[in-house]
Structure 1
Amino acid sequence: MRKIPLLITVLGISILAACSQQNSETVNPEKQAEEKSSQQLVQVKSEDIEGKKVNEFNLTAKEVNWKLSSETTITAWTYNGTVPGESIRVREGEVVKVNLKNELNEPVSIHWHGVPVSNTEDGIPGVTQDAVLPGGTYTYEFVANDPGTYWYHTHQNGVEQLDKGLYGTFIVEPKDGTGVERDYTLVLDEWESEKHDEKMNMEDNSGDSMNMKGMNMGEMSNMMGSSSSNMMMGHNMSSYDIFTINGKTYEENESLKVKKGEKVKLRFVNAGYMAHQIHIPIEYKVTHVDGQKVNNPQVVNGSILEVAPGERVDVEFVADEGGDFTIDCHGEMEASQDMKMDVVYEDGNSQKATHQPSNKLVDITTLGKKTQSPFSFGDEFDIEYKMVLGTKMSMNAEMGMVWTINGKTYPDVPPIKVNKGDKVKVTLTNESMDNSSHPMHLHGHFFQVLSKNGKPLEGSPIIKDTLNVKPGETYEVAFIADNPGNWLFHCHDLHHASNGMVTMVKYNNFEVFYTDTGKVDNQPE
């Protein structure tokens, strides 16, 4: 195959990025005039806690020895000493008050992933607060108005701190209850064992490991042309040699108990950096995505559920005593076999149902039935923003590559500027050279998925806060600018985010409540 010279490749990418940037944002002229004429300050959403039940939690960030498997114990960073951290569970409309204490030797924070909190509570160092220094404390307080499956995690140097286990689950039950008899949360993650670290050190010392620092730009470009989605900035994803559910491998986890006739809910949360294909070998329904309801979901039989980094997917099934079964992960990596969980009938006869193979993926764009939704495919919008997700070579990067939005890296990516109340459409296109997927997460808002590759969704409205954009795919999503503040919009493979793939949604005339003090090394990704 003929190799394209790097200079031409980089020049082409630069031209495309420039063109994308020139056309990245379209503003309604009438709205633009209205913005110029209005100088009224826009303030953060107030949290009305008066008269509401207050649920108070104390979370301590600390280091512990954590047993992943019978053979592997690691040094983990935790909230309250476990991985995942203490589960926070409240009812819709109740107040959540969390007192964070930092007993680690590095600054930390808490971000409430998917929860449209006031901007003051978003937990982003250098954007909404200073990270909490070692020995320090900080209190978050907000009203849990939106029922659903969420999670919380540090947003300070997240690429490293999440990798060490600094996260937990956050469940908001509807006022009228969940309607199920059993409710289980399964958090997916991947880890590097010390055995792997020792192997990599040996390879480094022998000079056999891949080291791009010694490559010239042409050699790096050639490598990029043949790289797979497993190759990351300074990090080969195949280094994750242990996969877990709820911080444990298969043999260390307890089975999920059910009884015949019970309705069972399973909440899947991906706290890692890899998408996982979960096989549930029975009939079930996908009832929620990112905590938001799917309208009239259909039964799927034995299909594979893909959960990308940052995403949450709820499924429900009725226990019919067809036999015990195993939920497992389909994947090429050896560690996939550790990511599974048994479902066992308490009063059963210990017979196991046949585990039929499947290669059919659940498609969120065809879930459920159409009903009233905030947006339609043909709507007009006040703001339209085109977001091209890409990569480019960079001599300033440790491994010679960065991940970009419209050809630029954070903080140089132009933000999405909105007025309060604007209808905003964002077009997400994945043109990354490295063939990687990008689970894009918007803080502070839910968005509706309008179309995939130009085709409008025909089933249930799909409302999310994290959307996995695979190589070559284009999605259109829309949201209402109803939560004033400065909000991140970034890839939740934090290897990508920490190396550039971040932008912001910024409200015009926003009254700033936080200024970086300069006393903390704030690292928002």
Structure 2
Amino acid sequence: MKTGWKLKSAAVVGAIAVLLTGCFNSSGGSMGGMDHSKMNMDDKSAAQQPTNTNTSTTVKVATLTGKEFTLTAKTSNQELAPGITLPVWTFNNSVPGPELRVKQGETVKINLKNELPEPVTIHWHGVPVPNAMDGIPGVTQNAVQPGQSFTYTFKADVPGTYWYHSHQDSVNQLDRGLYGSFIVEPKDGTKVDRDYTLVLDEWMSTGMSMSDMNMSGGNMSKMDMSNMDHSKMNMGNSNNKGSNSMDHSQMNMGHDMSMYDLFTVNGKSGSLVDKLPVKQGEKVRIRLINAGYLSHQIHLHGHEFKITASDGQPIHNPGILKDSVVTIAPGERYDIEFEANNPGQWLIEDHGENKAVAGMKAVIAYEGVAAGSDKPNDKEKLPVVDLTRYGQAGKMNFTLDQKYTMEYTMNLNTEMKNGDMVYTINGKTFPETEPIKVKKGDTVKVRLVNNSKTDDHPMHLHGHFFQVLSKNGKPLEGSPVIKDTLNLKPGEEYVVAFEADNEGNWMFHCHDLHHASAGMVTELKYTDYKTDFVPDPKAGNKPE
């Protein structure tokens, strides 16, 4: 198996045959919308490609505790659904990588070893690490080359649900499986009897169809897809992950998420998803992490529940919910808690029209209770929890009408430039976007506006938490909401505020990483920050 393939979907050569012969007619199949001049198709033979010698499909996601860890990035194969085994990139031979659980206040050390054929880094999503530990190639460090190592060291000050993932060519490396959960447990304990983490993602189980790729003209039958450089292909209008057998970042074609027919929970789909055992009377926490590029609407059956945290930060006096869905956007995390007071076997599942939602479900199984009769209702439309009106008002760090050191507006948009679909901030694409320049101690108010017609933009700020002050001009009515990732649907406007309390050069970008790789990135730069880091032009740094 060629580990150089940008694949998440084709587990065997037969899947490539589907791609090359089933989807593209050998005599008249076409790629008329694709800019061939930007595609890097080296004519390396299969013998020249790195091979995957790891054929394991049964490795379970480990939970590691302590203060020092080793994460080894390597290729593997993993059975994601019954009978569907795909080539993946892993941390410690599993997707997701191991869950790292640390204690608040501890200094942790994570040793990254790269056994992949390409450079890699680790970003600690949501964790306010020192800037040098943020894992951004070309900004805070050089990408870790094949065969090399890098050690991340930082103090885990803020308890909550976080995750880690590669930030090198991240639109592709996340899509291959390079991510895992990172949990900072509070000093006074977790205060629950069961504590489960569910990492959500989307995959493609077979080759692409012509309608999905929206192509016409050209002959694909003899193209060698194995060494295609996805980063230079121009991808179009999108709120999904594009094609997994090509780089999704900038392909000039329709970006149709319906190609993604396999949704997973902790790297498994359908009957392969592990059950979540509970006992009657227990207090149960479920940590939801979205590592994919689509929002998911999660419904807990048979129980009342509360949302206790968003992006790891607590909700003040959360209210009781039932038969409601929690929408979790790319990069976001939500903690929900419930009392196990309804014996049986109950589902927690995704809702939506995509057939793939059928695989994104887990069974909450009461111990000593036979398999129950709970049925999926993933097509039912249920009320969506509005976080801007949830919980009770409490102490706020910022208000709309206070004086700020600086105010900044980010107009997010989608447009065509030189025949390419790009994603812009104030009309510019990274690295031409204007950075937000601050000094330590500044208070910053940011107005975020989504002017895209069809695309969501989950905006993620590195190194900081921000408080959400208003949505569409209306102040929040419920609990103060503190986040690091905020999803804007088309036409929406949010105002957020934060203190510049963590010096460095930080990314602020869309976490639909197709949009980031096509321009929707800016930086938060501390003008009084000095760094010793010098980018190596030979490192192949790809920060988006």
Scaled by the length of structure 2, the TM-score of the pair is: 0.80
Residue of structure 1 equivalent to 2:304: 283
Please say if residues 212 and 259 of structure 2, whose CA atoms lie closer than 8 Å, have aligned partners that are also in contact: no
Please say if residues 103 and 184 of structure 2, whose CA atoms lie closer than 8 Å, have aligned partners that are also in contact: yes
How far did 1:230 drift? 4.9
Pair 1:303 & 2:318 matched: no
Query: How far apart are the structure 2 equivalents of 1:99 and 1:160?
Result: 22
Pair 1:442 & 2:461 matched: yes
1:422-475 CA deviation, whole Å, 9 max, x = no partner? 010000000014x10000000000000000000001211100000000000000
Pair 1:313 & 2:363 matched: no
Query: Which residue of 70, 74, 82 corresponds with 2:94?
Result: 82
Letter in 2 for 1:510: Y
Pair 1:432 & 2:452 matched: yes
Please say if residues 261 and 318 of structure 1, whose CA atoms lie closer than 8 Å, have aligned partners that are also in contact: yes
Pair 1:513 & 2:532 matched: yes
Where do residues 110-125 of structure 1 align in structure 2 (5 Å cutoff)?
110-125=122-137
Structure 1's 200 and 208: CA in aligned 2 closer, same or farther, altered over 3 A? farther
Pair 1:144 & 2:156 matched: yes
Residue of structure 2 equivalent to 1:48: none
Residue of structure 2 equivalent to 1:92: 104
Residue of structure 1 equivalent to 2:493: 474
Please say if residues 182 and 264 of structure 1, whose CA atoms lie closer than 8 Å, have aligned partners that are also in contact: yes
Where do residues 58-207 of structure 1 align in structure 2 (5 Å cutoff)?
58-193=70-205, 195-197=206-208
Pair 1:370 & 2:397 matched: no
Where do residues 341-352 of structure 1 align in structure 2 (5 Å cutoff)?
341-352=362-373
Pair 1:461 & 2:519 matched: no
Please say if residues 303 and 358 of structure 1, whose CA atoms lie closer than 8 Å, have aligned partners that are also in contact: no
Residue of structure 2 equivalent to 1:239: 259
How far did 1:409 drift? 0.1
Query: Which residue of 492, 501, 513 corresponds with 2:511?
Result: 492
How far did 1:236 drift? 2.8
Structure 1's 200 and 515: CA in aligned 2 closer, same or farther, altered over 3 A? farther
Structure 1's 429 and 487: CA in aligned 2 closer, same or farther, altered over 3 A? same
Please say if residues 87 and 170 of structure 1, whose CA atoms lie closer than 8 Å, have aligned partners that are also in contact: yes
Pair 1:419 & 2:439 matched: yes
How far did 1:240 drift? 1.4
Please say if residues 276 and 329 of structure 1, whose CA atoms lie closer than 8 Å, have aligned partners that are also in contact: yes
Please say if residues 387 and 427 of structure 1, whose CA atoms lie closer than 8 Å, have aligned partners that are also in contact: yes
Identity of matched residues, %? 55
Please say if residues 110 and 153 of structure 1, whose CA atoms lie closer than 8 Å, have aligned partners that are also in contact: yes
Query: How far apart are the structure 2 equivalents of 1:254 and 1:185?
Result: 11
Scaled by the length of structure 1, the TM-score of the pair is: 0.83
Residue of structure 2 equivalent to 1:361: 384
Query: How far apart are the structure 2 equivalents of 1:204 and 1:456?
Result: 45
1:382-425 CA deviation, whole Å, 9 max, x = no partner? 11000000011112x6xx21000000000001000011100100
Structure 1's 288 and 202: CA in aligned 2 closer, same or farther, altered over 3 A? closer
Query: Which ranges of structure 2 fall in alignment gaps of 5 or more residues?
Result: 1-64, 221-234, 243-249
How far did 1:149 drift? 0.2
Query: How far apart are the structure 2 equivalents of 1:430 and 1:480?
Result: 23
1:201-239 CA deviation, whole Å, 9 max, x = no partner? 999798699xxxxxxxxxxxxx98xx7745965243222
How far did 1:271 drift? 0.2
Task: Identify the structure with the greater helix proportion.
Answer: 1
Residue of structure 2 equivalent to 1:259: 279
How far did 1:352 drift? 3.7
Letter in 2 for 1:330: H
Please say if residues 417 and 506 of structure 1, whose CA atoms lie closer than 8 Å, have aligned partners that are also in contact: yes
State the secondary structure of the residue aligned to 1:343.
Answer: strand
1:474-512 CA deviation, whole Å, 9 max, x = no partner? 000000000000000000000000000000000112112
Cα RMSD between the aligned structures?
2.2
Query: How far apart are the structure 1 equivalents of 2:241 and 2:216?
Result: 21
Residue of structure 2 equivalent to 1:5: none
How far did 1:353 drift? 4.9
State the secondary structure of the residue aligned to 1:497.
Answer: helix
State the secondary structure of the residue aligned to 1:300.
Answer: coil
Query: How far apart are the structure 2 equivalents of 1:230 and 1:287?
Result: 28
Residue of structure 1 equivalent to 2:406: 383
State the secondary structure of the residue aligned to 1:274.
Answer: coil
State the secondary structure of the residue aligned to 2:277.
Answer: strand
Letter in 2 for 1:133: Q
Query: How far apart are the structure 2 equivalents of 1:89 and 1:404?
Result: 37
How far did 1:351 drift? 3.4
State the secondary structure of the residue aligned to 1:487.
Answer: strand
How far did 1:253 drift? 1.4
Residue of structure 1 equivalent to 2:350: 329
Please say if residues 427 and 476 of structure 1, whose CA atoms lie closer than 8 Å, have aligned partners that are also in contact: yes
Query: Which residue of 414, 424, 441 corresponds with 1:404?
Result: 424
Structure 1's 464 and 208: CA in aligned 2 closer, same or farther, altered over 3 A? farther
1:350-395 CA deviation, whole Å, 9 max, x = no partner? 4345767552001110111111121122211111000000011112
Please say if residues 239 and 512 of structure 2, whose CA atoms lie closer than 8 Å, have aligned partners that are also in contact: no
Structure 1's 453 and 199: CA in aligned 2 closer, same or farther, altered over 3 A? closer
Query: How far apart are the structure 1 equivalents of 2:240 and 2:313?
Result: 30
Residue of structure 2 equivalent to 1:16: none
Query: Which ranges of structure 1 fall in alignment gaps of 5 or more residues?
Result: 1-52, 210-222
Query: How far apart are the structure 2 equivalents of 1:202 and 1:375?
Result: 46
Query: Larger RCO: Structure 1 or Structure 2 (Cα < 8 Å, ≥ 6 residues apart)?
Result: 1
Query: How far apart are the structure 1 equivalents of 2:298 and 2:406?
Result: 37
Structure 1's 179 and 298: CA in aligned 2 closer, same or farther, altered over 3 A? same
Query: Which residue of 515, 520, 542 corresponds with 1:501?
Result: 520
1:307-360 CA deviation, whole Å, 9 max, x = no partner? 100000000000002432111111111111111111110022543457675520
Please say if residues 262 and 319 of structure 1, whose CA atoms lie closer than 8 Å, have aligned partners that are also in contact: yes
